[in-house]
Amino acid sequence: MTQLLSPNPQRIGQPAGATPLPDAVPASRWAGTPEQLKNDLIELLGPDNVLTRISDLVRYASDASPYRQVPQVVVQPRNATDLSKLMVFAREHKRNLVFRSGGTSLNGQAMTDDILVDTKTHFRGMEVRDGGKRIWARPGVILGDAQAVLARHGYMIGADPGSTSVCTIGGVLSCNSGGMRCSVERDSYHTLESATIVLPSGSIIDTAAADADEQLRALEPGIYEGLLALRDEIRGDDELVALLKRKFSIRNTNGIRLDAFLDEDRPVDILLKLMVSAEGTFGALTEAVIRTVELPRKKAVAWVMLPDLKQAARYVHSIMEAGALACELLVAPVMKRSVGNFPQAPKEWADIDDNEAALLVEVGGADEDGLAAACQAVEKVLEGAELTAPLEFDSTAAGMAGAWQIRNGLFGLIGADRPQGTALITEDVCFPPADVGEASSDLIDLLGKFGYPQMVMGHAAFGNLHFFLLPRLAVEEERKAYAQFLDELAELVIGKYQGSLKAEHGTGVNMAPFVEYEWGSKAFGYMWRVKDLLDPAGILAPDVKLTRHQDVHLNNFKSFPKVEDEINDCVECGFCEPVCPSRHVTVTPRQRIVLRREMARQPENSPLLKVLQDEYQYDAIDMCAADGVCSVACPVSIDTGKVMKGLRAQQVSDAANKAALVVAKNWGAIARSLRLGVGAAGVVQRAFGYRALAAVADTLRTVISRDLLPTVPGALPGPGEAHLPETFREGATAVYFPACINRIFGTPHGKPGLQLPEAVVELGRRAGRPVWIPADVKDDCCGTPWSSKGYKDGFRYQAEKIAQDLWEWSEGGKLPIIVDAASCTHGIIDNVPEVLTGELKNKFESLEILDIVEWLHREVGEALTFTEHYQAVAVHPTCSTTHMGINDQLTDLVALCTEDVVVPVGTSCCGTAGDRGLLHPELVESATREERRTLDARDFDAFVSDNRTCEMGLEMIAGKPFENIAIFLERASRPVVTP
C-alpha cells in the first residue's frame, strides 16, 4: 500500500522537449562539493551551515542576472566570527569568496565557481532607533520589511528600488541601490552611519565604537597608513578631485567610491564609505545603522499620459522642479502588458497607441493642504500639455500601492514577452537630469540599430534610464552584436553626455570591463590600489567590480531551456521568494524553476539527472504548499504551485487514483470517522499530553511514509460538534456551507466557546441576516484535498457534486452561498470550474459564492453591537484571502472592536496547506518564522484568521490560539446578561 501511494521521483521525468545544452552541469559533479572542501568547511562552520548537495549548488547558481556559475559549495555563516574564519580559510587555501543575499543582482555580482557565501539566512534582525530617524539592521533583512516597520514611525530608508519586496539591506548597501524616490543625497553612501565590517584579513571592525579609528590602526596598521596616504594623494590631484565630484553628482555605481577620500578624514570613516557600492570586493558588512528619511504624511500618485516618449521625457525635469517626490517613465508596450497581470492596471491601457508613454508622478505634503498644493504645482507644469487621458491624482492606499506594483513589476513583464531561448539583460545608465529627453531619444535610436526593444523607462527624475536587451547569446553573431552594442553604449553615455554606465544596479561582471573607459587610467589605477590594499590576496569577488579580463562579460551566460508552460516565462528575478512557505527549509519557487531548467539541460540518461530528481521530490514537490501566493508576488503571475501539483498528478498511479475516488465517494462517512478520531486523540492528549500522540505518530511515519501519515507538532484542537446547528430555509438570506475542516475540528485547544458553525448562525441571527445549513452538506467537500495531491478523478467527482448541490441548495442561484474557510471558498471559486462542463458549468457560473469574511463585512459587521473591546489583536490574512482580495475586509472587521489591529511583518501563507502542515510541520515553521517574531514581541488580546487549518498550524507551531473571525466577532458582540 505504501508503494502504491508514495511518490516516485522518477515519474516526474523531464520537461517536454528537453534538449541537452552546452551549459548543462557535467555528470562528473553529481556528488556535489569535493570531499576535502566539504570536510574542511564543516569543521569550520558546522554541518548545518554548509550546503554540498548538487541540488543546493545548482539552485544557488542562478540569480536575476543573465549569468550562471555553479559554486563548489554554499556556506551560511552565522555571524561576524564565522565570516572572519571564512576569510582566513580562503586566504590560506587560495580560495575565492563571493557574497549573496537576496539574489536580485542583475549584473552578475552574486555568483562564483568557488565558495558562495549566503549572507541572508543567518543575518536577520532589525531595530528602529530614535523614533524612526535611524534603523539598525543586519544584511539579510528584506528592505520591504524594514520599510514597513519604519513607515509606522513616519520614516523610510532612502533607497527604494523596484525590488524592494525581495532585495535585502546587504544588497542595497553593497550596490548603493537607488529607486523611484532616491535622490543622491538619500542613497546609502550618504546615509550609512556605521557598520560592523569583516575585512579579508579576518579583522572585525565596529565603526560605531568610540575608539574605532584606533582599533583599525591597531589591528590593520598597513591598511590604516595606506588609507591616509591615498587620501592625501587623491586630494592633492585637482583634476581627479574635479572628476570625482562631477561623476558622483549623479547616480553612479560603476567603479569604486573614491570620493570617500574626499568626504572623510579618518581612515575608519573612509573605510566605511568605501564599503558602500563595493559589491563585496573589500569585505562584508554584518550589521549597519542607517539614517532614514521622513515620509510625507499625505501622498498621491497620478498617471500622466502623453503621445510619445520624447514628449514625456521633456516634462520630467519641470515636474521634479515643481516638488514631485518621484517621476517614473513608462512606455506603451509595457503598459499594455500590465493589463491582465496587475488588477490595478486600467483596462483602457490595452488599447493605447504603441507610441504612447506615461509618467507615474508621486507628490506629497505634510497635510491635506500641502498635498493639494503639490498636486496643483504639477498641474500647472502640465498646462497646455497634449495629454491623452485626464490627469487625476489618487490618494487612496490601494491606488498608490497598485500604481507602484505595476512599476515594480516591469522587469518580469518584459522577460515574459521575450522569444524562447533569448536572455533578458537589463541595463541602467544615468545622464545629467537636464539631458534626459535628448538622451532618451539617442538611446532609443541605438536600441533600434541593433534590433533590441525600443523601450526606455525608469527613474527619469534622476536621469536614470532602464532598457532591455533580448539577445540569443548562444548564437555567435548575436553575441558579437551584443558586445558591439555595449561599446557604442559606452561611447554614447560617456563620450556624448558624460553620464555613468551603471546608475543603481552596481557594476558586476557585466560592466567591469568598462570601468577604466568610464573613469580613465588614473582613477582606475587608484581603484586597484584600494583593492590591493584591502584585499592583497584577491580572495573576494574576482572580476565582479574590477577586472583586467576584457571579455569577462561575454562568458557564463545561462541558457533558458523550455520547461512547463506555466513557468517558462520566469526570468528568475526572485520576487516570489519572500512569500514562499518553504523558503527557510528547502527551496523557493525561483529555485524550483532553476532546478527544473537544469533537468531540461541534462541528457536523458544522465546520472546527475537522477540525483536531481531524487532530491527534487522532497525539496520541491513534497514541500510545496501549492498555495499560489507566489503568483501574487510574481510580476507575470507565475503559479509554481500549479506545476508542483501537476508533477504530483504525474506521480499518481492508476490504482492510487482509483483509491482516492473511493474516498471521494464515501467522504461523508470518512469525515465523520475523522471527527471521531480527533475526539479519541483528544482523550489521549488530555491523559498523556500531545507529545505522546506525536511519539506514536512519528513511529508509524518511519515505518509507513512521512508523506502519508501526519505527525502531531502541537496540541490538537477538540473535535467539531456531532450535529450542526438547527436552521431553517424559510426566511434565510443565505445558504451556509460549513467546510468539512470545520466539521471535523473544533475550537482552539483549551479555549472554550461556540463552535464556528454555531457562531456563524448566531451572528446571522443578531444581524437580522439568518442563514440556512442544508441537511445533506456533510457529504460535500470543496475538492481541494484531491486536487492538491493530484488525484484527478476524486477531485472531479467532488467538484461536480458540490457544484450540483450548491445549485440546488441556492434554488438556482436565488440565495448567495457563504463558506466558512478561506481555502475552501477559494478552491470552489477557482478550482471547481476547471473540471465542469456543459450545463453544470453554466449553472455554477451563475452562483454567488462568498467567503465568510465577505458576508460578515457586507451583511453583518455594521449591524452588531459590541459588548467587548480589545486593545491589540493579531490578524493572519491567509493566502486564500490574499488571492480573493479580501485582506482589508478581514482587518476592517477586527477593527470594529479593536484599537490596534496588527498584521505581523512577514505574514504570508502559513504553510499548513490542508494536511501538509501535519505531514511536514517544518514547512509551517519555515513559513511563519518572520511572523512569529512579531507575535512573540508583544502581548495580544486575541489572534484572528479565516481558515481552520491555518489557525491550527499557527497554534501548533507559534503557540498562539488563532480563531476564525466569526468566532471572534460573536464573542465580542455577545449580549451581556445582567442578573
Domain of 389, CATH number, reads 3.40.462.10
> How confident is the model over 332-359, as a mean pLDDT?
87
Indicate if the pLDDT at residue 704 is higher than 70. Answer: no
| Backbone region of residue 637 per phi and psi (left: phi > 0; alpha: psi in -120 to 50; beta: other values) | left
Q: Residues 423-439: pLDDT tens digits?
A: 888 899 999 988 887 89
pLDDT band at 411 (very low <50, low <70, confident <90, very high): low
Indicate if the pLDDT at residue 3 is higher than 50. Answer: no
Q: And the C-alpha cell for 491?
A: 561611447
Please tell me which residue, 512 or 444, carries the higher pLDDT value. 512
pLDDT band at 779 (very low <50, low <70, confident <90, very high): confident
3-state secondary structure of 842: helix
Q: How much is the mean pLDDT over the chain? A: 91
Tell me if 701 is assigned to some domain.
Answer: no
Indicate if the pLDDT at residue 699 is higher than 70. Answer: no
User: Measuring CA to CA, how many Å separate 144 from each of 161, 268, 452, 921?
Assistant: 10, 30, 32, 27
pTM here?
A: 0.91
Q: Could you give phi then psi for residue 126, rounded to 5 degrees?
A: -150, 160
Q: Residues 816-859: pLDDT tens digits?
A: 999 999 999 999 999 999 999 999 999 999 999 999 999 999 99
Q: Could you give phi then psi for residue 597, rounded to 5 degrees?
A: -65, -35
Q: Give the per-residue pLDDT at 13.
A: 78
Range of the domain at 749: 715-775+810-979
Q: Give the per-residue pLDDT at 655.
A: 86
Tell me if 881 is assigned to some domain.
Answer: yes
Tell me if 669 is assigned to some domain.
Answer: no
3-state secondary structure of 735: strand
Q: Give the per-residue pLDDT at 771.
A: 97
Q: Give the per-residue pLDDT at 337.
A: 80
Q: Give the per-residue pLDDT at 461.
A: 84
Q: Give the per-residue pLDDT at 4.
A: 43
Indicate if the pLDDT at residue 860 is higher than 90. Answer: yes
Tell me if 133 is assigned to some domain.
Answer: no
Percent over 90 (pLDDT), the chain: 72
Q: And the C-alpha cell for 628?
A: 499560489
Q: Give the per-residue pLDDT at 1.
A: 38
Indicate if the pLDDT at residue 702 is higher than 70. Answer: no
Indicate if the pLDDT at residue 23 is higher than 50. Answer: yes
Q: Give the per-residue pLDDT at 697.
A: 57
Tell me if 471 is assigned to some domain.
Answer: yes
Contacts of 31 (CB under 8 A, 6+ apart): 54
Indicate if the pLDDT at residue 752 is higher than 80. Answer: no
> How confident is the model over 133-159, as a mean pLDDT?
96
The domain tally of the chain equals 2
Rounded CA separation 149/904 (Å): 10
pLDDT band at 619 (very low <50, low <70, confident <90, very high): very high
Contacts of 531 (CB under 8 A, 6+ apart): 256, 281, 282, 538, 545, 546
Indicate if the pLDDT at residue 198 is higher than 70. Answer: yes
Please tell me which residue, 683 or 311, carries the higher pLDDT value. 311
For the chain, what's the residue count?
A: 979
Contacts of 292 (CB under 8 A, 6+ apart): 132, 133, 134, 135, 150, 155, 156, 157, 158, 191
Q: Residues 561-618: pLDDT tens digits?
A: 999 999 998 989 999 999 999 999 999 999 999 999 999 999 988 999 999 999 999 9
Neighbours of 957 (CB within 10 A): 25
Q: Residues 956-972: pLDDT tens digits?
A: 888 899 999 999 999 99
Tell me if 591 is assigned to some domain.
Answer: no
Tell me if 678 is assigned to some domain.
Answer: no
Tell me if 925 is assigned to some domain.
Answer: yes
pLDDT band at 750 (very low <50, low <70, confident <90, very high): low
Residue linked to cell 520630467: 316
pLDDT band at 978 (very low <50, low <70, confident <90, very high): low
